[in-house]
Amino acid sequence: MSELQQEVERRSIDGRLPCAAVFAIAEDLGVALDQVVHGIGVADLRISHCQLGLFGYQAFGDKRFAVPLSHVPDRLEAALRAASVDGAVPCVAAWGIAESEGLPRPVVGSAADAIGVRIAPCQLGCF
């Protein structure tokens, strides 16, 4: 079993590998994300706990963590709309918005939901 496969198996929980663990494995082993994603598929695991809160939270009672915000600040809405391509903001751009605005990533996912902007594509190919 390769080092990558060992790490994927070691960090998995109940047949799932959290999104953050995928990124950590890639960084720790110095491999590309798609290699880790391939390793997940080979191990027959699923990715969970999206860092934007969009999927993988069934263990907490719902598939999503993100819920539409009741109010989205103008600056955040403008940043999301500016990053939008055909009504969707790439996941990597949403992460960048979170970082530049000093916000947790799930807040950006929740803001996107509130203004009707999808997040896609996922950096890991989940959607």
pLDDT beneath 70, residues of the chain: none
- Whether 54 is covered by a domain: the verdict is no
Question: What pLDDT score was predicted for residue 62?
Answer: 87
Residue 17 domain boundaries: 3-48
Cα(78)–Cα(51) distance, integer angstroms? 21
- Whether 53 is covered by a domain: the verdict is no
Q: What angle do CA 14, 19, 20 make, to 5 degrees?
A: 110
- Whether 109 is covered by a domain: the verdict is yes
**pTM for this prediction:** 0.92
Question: Residues 7, 42: one domain?
Answer: yes
- Name which of 20, 22, 19 is nearest 8 in CA terms: 22
Could you give the number of structural domains in the chain?
2
Question: What pLDDT score was predicted for residue 66?
Answer: 86
- Whether 56 is covered by a domain: the verdict is no
Q: In sequence order, what DSSP letters do the residues of 67-104 get, joined into one string?
A: ---S---HHHHHHHHHH-BTTEE-HHHHHHHHHHHT--
- Whether 18 is covered by a domain: the verdict is yes
